[in-house]
Structure 1
Amino acid sequence: MTDRLTFVDVCSGAGGLASGLESAGFTPMLLLDNKPQACETIRANRPDWNVLCEDLVDFLPEKHPETLDVDLLSAGLPRVKSSAAVGRSDSDPELRLIAATIWLVHAVQPRALLLENLPALVESPAYLETREFIEAELTHLGYRLRWFVLNAADFGVPQERLQGVLVAIKEPWFDSFVRPAPTVSEHVSLGDALRCSMSARGWPEADVWADQAWAVAPTLVGGSDNRGGADVGPTGTKKAFARMGVNGNAFADEVPGPDYVWPRSDDVSEMPKITVDQTAVLQRFPPDWEITGQKTARYRQIGHATPPPVGRALGETIAAALRSPARPVVASRP
């Protein structure tokens, strides 16, 4: 085994999960996504990575032998619907991609699987049948698995962002896996995260604004491709941003300049807007990570992403398990 572990990443989006895994010591053999804009973003940042723009359901790993001997298969899959929407026809695409990922495990046989989604997939009774399907297939293939929920804020991401996680590891290494422990003792507030960027053009009240934005941001929501223009997400998300002095109904083209006067009003329309680049800060993308496309397309990529620090934390714990001495598998008695 080489020092750097290898992985295949599917439904890669803007590369948030892959970036985190890279920083945890993994080398990607292939990244897969069906959206050309997302593939363009990954190639813009890592031109040497092997990026395939194709639907996961249509992907044939036997045509890509580099995928057949990897340590990890990772998948930041499109988010399942809320429990109330389970069973509706518009929830089918997300469930098909979950199934396609499990069938890909059959073909690739990685030593570990990392699947990230909403907490509902982990906790909701509405997804019990889906979890039972996953567990039965993975157990048959010799994996043991653990479901859990992480809050990205515990890893330095300035958002209250709950993430449902499945980690499955082949039997010889599973007992060495430990779920990631928080990497920060205090959560990073919205104001502290954006303080520097808010003052970048000389706005004299940037520090005062940052001080009153004392809580972590709500979860950024990328929304559906069929949805309207770029904004921070549903009504509840906009209200949460407004409580911290942000107009979330649209994004600004630039941060406030030296002549901007902050009205300190409860009227949302008079509050400063943040930029799409600042939402990338709230997801903790590396500062030099370029998100390509127009404003709406860029925000959707950012809002859908797995924050890289969470990917790194998960990658480090999986890597530690895979680098541990393999324990012999004891056959069960008949």
Structure 2
Amino acid sequence: MIKKEKKPMSEPLRAISLFSGAGGMDVGFENAGIKVVFANELVADAAETYRANHPDCIMVNDDINNVIDSLGKYEGIDLVFGGPPCQGFSVAGKMDPDDDRSKLIFTFLDVVERVKPRAFVMENVKALGELSKWKDVRERYLKKASDLGYSCHYFVLNATDYGVPQKRERVFFIGIRGDSFDEKRLHQLITHHKTKAAPIRDILLPLGKAGSEENPRTCVAKINFCARPVMRKSPYAGMYFNGQGRPIDIDGYANTLPASMGGNKTPFIDEDYLYGEADDNFIENYHKGLMDGTITPEYKEAPSRLRRITIREAAKIQTFPDDYIFCGKPAAIYKQIGNAVPCKMAEAVASAVAEYLQA
């Protein structure tokens, strides 16, 4: 049995960030007291956002395959973490195992092999951790990690349990070098960091109405009623408005914010209800009317009280800091936000792993 290494508490853990995007996962790891010394991101505007907010970290904007050979100088670092692109595994995508993006989870382990960190954390969509379709992929991933000398387990978590007002479920593969990984202990540490998220109303109210200086209007895509709505039991599911941007439950949590935001796939809210200028919830009333037949569906524009969420609101829902700087055009920024790992969710996982390594 390989003895678990212990690092003096006075020294911060050091980490490499892969598939860094705008840096949401990095915010969480840094808030957990971990120093990120190197980051890699392929998309230029996301890399620019990262640099604007993490000036002390080396950010290399390049294909990860062009970077691996240069990482030997970080051999033995404490952590490697990141969230490889998930579209190949997502139920919202084509679920194609031959999608080049599906192979990047193994590229992540190629870096682990080169760097030999004490531990690694890889985030991805829930489907990779739960669907039988991906069982062979999971088993190959765990076997490769084991062959590299890591005991690896995966945990499916819901962001709402970790202070994020969004029903976003994700899987985290966590590997610890050696064969003494206490899965139960790590799970207890992760659970210890559970924090019930505040409802959307409490998150968005302080920003003020869309169009204000603090909350610029950044998406003007129209909202129309569907002539042939696809109904579900919940007012916040189904498809009874145009596009794929669904309404957000002001008194609850948002569904997963998609990377396709920016146009009519951007989620929307009832602004009058949010700010107390209307006692009724238009979205729920309209859904009820469709369900009981008192409203006949017709393709026409929805009232102006319904409007798409802004960049600032999307960032708040993803728990980015209020002063976080985003670079690029609005569509690119929405994509950066939608692709990000929620900061507070990442912080909970990072804190648990740090505590495990420091025990």
| TM-score, structure 2 as length reference | 0.73
Q: Which of residues 294, 300, 315 in structure 1 aligns to 2:350?
A: 315
Aligned to 2:186, what secondary structure does the other structure show? coil
Which residue in 2 is equivalent to 1:274? 309
Kept in 2, the 8 Å contact 1:119–1:163? The answer is: yes
- Superposed CA RMSD: 2.9
Cα offset for 1:291? 1.2
Compare 165-174 and 51-60 and name the one that shifted more.
Answer: 165-174
**Farther off after superposition, 284-293 or 175-184:** 175-184
For 2:25 and 2:154, locate their aligned partners in 1 and report how far apart those are by CA, in whole Å.
Answer: 18
Shift of 1:125: 1.2
Mark the CA change 1:42 to 1:232 in structure 2 (over 3 Å): closer, same or farther: farther
CA distance in 2, matches of 1:315, 1:144: 17
Alpha-carbon shift at residue 74 of structure 1 (Å)? 0.3
1:188 aligns with 2:213: no
Count of residue pairs the alignment pairs up: 291
State the Cα deviation string for residues 44-68 of structure 1 (Å, max 9, x = none): 112121101111233223x244432
Tell me which amino acid in the other structure corresponds to 1:245.
D
| Amino acid paired to 1:233 | K
* CA spacing shift, 1:322–1:173, aligned 2, 3 Å: farther
Q: Deviations over 1:117-143 (max 9, x none)?
A: 100010111111211111111112221
Which structure: greater strand fraction?
2
- Supply the AA of the counterpart residue of 1:222: A
Of 178-187 and 116-125, more deviation after overlay is shown by 178-187
Distance in 2, matches of 1:24 and 1:232, equals 36
Gaps of 5+ in 1: 203-211, 224-228, 248-254, 325-334
**1:273: Cα distance to partner?**
3.2
Residues 1:304 and 2:339 aligned together: yes
- Which of 82, 87, 93 is the matching residue for 1:75? 82
2:214 aligned with 1:177? no
Residue identity over aligned pairs, in percent, reads 28
Change (3 A) 1:268 1:147: farther
Aligned equivalents of 1:54 and 1:123: distance in 2? Answer: 31
Shift of 1:246: 6.1
For 1:46, the aligned partner's letter is H
From 162, 175, 182, the counterpart of 1:168: 175
Instruction: Please give the residue correspondences for 1:188-267 in structure 2 after superposition, counting only pairs within 5 Å.
Output: 188-198=198-208, 201=212, 213-223=250-260, 230-231=262-263, 233=265, 238=267, 241=268, 245=270, 265=282, 266=286
More moved, 39-48 vs 179-188:
179-188
Shift of 1:302: 0.5
TM-score by length of 1: 0.78
Distance 2:32 2:265 in 1: 31
